Amino acid sequence: MKKRKMHKWMFTFAAVGGVIGMTFGQLLKGNLDFAGILGSLTGLLLMVGIDLVRMRWKKDKTPDFDERTVHNMLKFYAYAANVFIGILFAGLAVISFLEIESIAVSYLMIPFMVYLFISGIGAFAVSRK
């Protein structure tokens, strides 16, 4: 059986029906709650996003990355990790010279999150080359 074009958007149609049903249900009850409508609209946006991803999903089985891209990403992660550890040790040396005895854990997590953020953006840039 051949799939129709509209069959691919079934989640979106279900979400539109949910928004319409939520709105009519509240109108029939007598009180229009905007929180419920906004919640159903959020669900609609989520379902539209899922359908868009499903439509753009690759159909063939060819790999996204070749050997050069994988090699470049491994090199990038090796350099990024070593530079990050070097910066952390330099920061530890500066803190030691300033004679600071204790550091809050939240301050220790900030460089870690920055490292994850920068390495993720860098890996995305390297994978696109």
Compute the distance between CA of residue 76 and CA of residue 69 in angstroms, rounded to an integer.
Answer: 10
More confident residue, 129 or 91: 91
pLDDT in tens, 29-54: 888 888 888 888 898 898 888 888 88
Q: Say if pTM beats, i.e. exceeds, 0.75.
A: no
Contacts of 86 (CB under 8 A, 6+ apart): none
Q: Please state, rounded to an integer, the average pLDDT across all residues of the chain.
A: 82
Number of CB atoms found within 10 A of residue 15's CB: 22
Instruction: Identify the CA nearest to 55 among candidates 19, 124, 1, 7.
Output: 7
Compute the distance between CA of residue 22 and CA of residue 42 in angstroms, rounded to an integer.
Answer: 13
Q: What is the CA radius of gyration of the chain?
A: 25
- Residues 48, 15: contact at Cβ < 8 Å? yes
Q: Where are the domains of the chain?
A: 6-56, 67-127
